[in-house]
Structure 1
Amino acid sequence: NAGIAATMPALDYPLAHWQLTMAVNVTAPFLIAQHTLRAMRRKQWGRIVNVASISGVRAGTGRLGYGTSKAALIALTRQFAIEAAEWGVTVNAIAPGPVDTPLIRGMHGGSTAGTYASMLPMRRYGTTAEIAHAVSFLASEQAGYITGHSLAVDGGFLASGLLVRDLFEPAASAPS
């Protein structure tokens, strides 16, 4: 799946960007799945794996459009999954956490990347190969009884409860 994101406060989020984000991150996967499922129904077999995000499961400051769109993609995945199951088709999603890509390196510049990674239980960003392996598994015969699932591939991000705001706001001092 393609995806776009912008980081800004919720009250400053322009409607035009909201609509574009939903079109790319939700409507496009909807149309692709709808088209693809017709062929899969005829064959009585298939796999769809959507690329959502951990931001669709866990809210973070500045992630209004992106997080909401990825949550919608996870819901869309479940809806298609329950309708396609009787055709031998599974529909799942992966929800990556921070992954070491040129885009993320550009967004997490300076000391942000090190700080972010240090707050993850695995103390590092994921790799594109690790994401690909998760997709490959969900697309395989071995995942034939898994459908409607969103697999967090996130180095423990979801389990740890890391909040994006923790990167940008100084920690409050403990009461004395």
Structure 2
Amino acid sequence: MSAALDHLRLMARNNAYANERLYEACCKLSQVEFEAERTNFFPSLLETLNHNWEVDRYYLDALTEGGEGLAVFEVPFLRDANDLAMAQAGLDRQLIAFCDGLRASDLEREIAQDRGAKGTVKETIAATLMHLFQHQIHHRGQAHAMLAGTSVAPPQLDEFFLNFERHPAAQRHIDTFSREENL
């Protein structure tokens, strides 16, 4: 297996783990705290997490060549943290399956991305995945900071890669990678 593929497959699992931990915390918030205006790029946890969910749908559609393009954004916000958690977990499973199905030769294959008035652009699968993971990390960090101003403590999100401090939830995701590698 290639190091690049292994890295992307592990990043997909890290993404799922971090989202799972973040949503565990957000689901403990009252609806008022979840929707409360806070200082950040998006003005609430509700809006930040909906943005991540929307953008994940957009890039997963592009990666799988689903053909929806910008139409993926024509879905109302999910208002409840539990609903968002389930929706995000479903996308995270799809992203893991997508990464697990890749071959090394797929990484440089270009896929179309609908950019509206800017037209359709082509990007490689590898660049798109790296961007998607970075986007999630960026906005999860913002949500994490917003949680610090609530009644629920923000969880550790970086206990994934190192054995000595791996969170049990991370281990479940690592174990699925290890099982796939041994098939």
TM-score, normalising length: structure 1 = 0.31
Q: Which has the larger radius of gyration?
A: 1
Structure (1 or 2) with the greater helix fraction: 2
Comparing both chains, which one has the higher relative contact order based on Cα–Cα distances under 8 Å and sequence gaps of 6 or more? 2
Structure (1 or 2) with the greater strand fraction: 1
